[in-house]
Amino acid sequence: MTPADAMARLKDWWAEARANKLFWRGLALAAVIVILDQASKMWIVHGIDLPRLQKIEISGVFDLSYVENRGASFGMLHGMRWLLAIISIGVSLGLAWWLGRLKRPVAVIGVGCIIGGALGNLYDRLAYGYVVDFLDFSGLYFPWVFNVADAAINVGIAFLLYDAWKTGQAEKQAEKKAEKQA
């Protein structure tokens, strides 16, 4: 593909995305998630000073525990800050490209959640060298500590899985209908 072809494709995508109301809703959702994620981390770090306290016991199920995650999900790729940042940027750009073309609201919610979560954690990686995690449900035998961005990514994946299932069901219904008419 030549640079001129790439520019033409980008212009076509932008025209389609700009006209797609769901694109703007997905971006707005992503922005809200980034704001909520960063606001919660600011409160945890500066408001209640969790880095100094390390842990606040709330209940037998849930605590606030300060963790500096220098890896990806569940600590994978520990210490590979720049690689993780590049992956986050690439995933966010790829999902934004897809978002510009999506016409299914459930999928838009999923993609918006994932983009917002990825960008929320990307900010931490670039600004601090690690991601601030603090939501601790170890009382439920869930050993990982996570944050709002992580939760949004997981919720986004759940929405995409639901959308895929729903879309598959609709296709099966259409096939059955076509068979009956044939």
Question: One-letter amino acid identity for 109?
Answer: I
- 12 tagged catalytic: no
d(CA 176, CA 163): 20
Catalytic residue among 37, 133, 136, 163: 133
Q: What is the DSSP letter of 140?
A: G
Max distance between CA atoms of the chain, in angstroms, equals 71
Q: How many CB atoms lie within 10 A of CB 154?
A: 15
Three-class secondary structure of residue 129 per DSSP: coil
d(CA 109, CA 100): 13
Three-class secondary structure of residue 145 per DSSP: strand
Catalytic residue among 37, 124, 150, 163: 150
Q: How many helices (H) and strands (E) does the chain have?
A: 6, 4
| Phi, psi of 136, rounded to the nearest 5 degrees | -120, 105
Catalytic residues: 133, 150
